[in-house]
Amino acid sequence: NFPVLGRIRYISEKIGPELRQYFFANDNEGKPFSRSDYKNIVLAGKYKSRMTSFGTGKDYLEGFYIQNTMFPLQATELHIDHTEFISTFLYHIENERLFSREEYRKSAQVDPFFLTDEHAVVLGSILKHPFKIKRLVGQSGM
């Protein structure tokens, strides 16, 4: 009974995005967390993948936009805050197939990979309470 249910988990993870795209709710719906929020948490927690995309699937008011910088800094040019480390477990995938996945957990000390205050991305710098993003942000060129 358990092996069948365990394999269904991996199948649903593989084909879930396609099913949701064509038949069910989109990635921004869902309670208490949207599917995209859940995916970001799982990737950061299990696989230490903290690179995030920057953009939105939401409709905002017309006239609001985010202006890209013409000469962005490379990751090697940024100053990373290495003062704190976190004890955690990382998952390593050895073999991933459609119906199964071979992975194992490994204990690790990881840095949260936060940018220093001088290199944090600031949204709304002229506002009373600007929003600071202290992690790396990647954006597609599309």
Inside any domain, residue 66? no
Q: Is 55 left (phi over 0), alpha (psi -120 to 50) or beta?
A: left
Residue 98 has pLDDT above 70, yes or no: yes
Q: Which of 24-28, 72-76, 111-115 has the highest mean pLDDT?
A: 111-115
Looking at residue 65, its pLDDT comes to 67
Inside any domain, residue 123? yes
Looking at residue 107, its pLDDT comes to 92
Q: How confident is the model at residue 8 (pLDDT cuts 50, 70, 90)?
A: confident
Q: Are strands 121-123 and 131-133 parallel, antiparallel or unpaired?
A: antiparallel
The H or E element spanning position 22 is helix 2-22
The answer to whether 130 and 123 have CB atoms below 8 angstroms apart is yes
Reported as a single tens digit per residue, the pLDDT across 9-33 is 778 877 877 776 667 666 666 677 7
Question: 86: which strand partners?
Answer: 110
Please identify which residue in the block is written with the tokens 């000390």: 109
Q: Which residue range is the domain that position 86 belongs to?
A: 2-52+72-136
Inside any domain, residue 30? yes
Specify the number of domains making up the chain.
Answer: 1
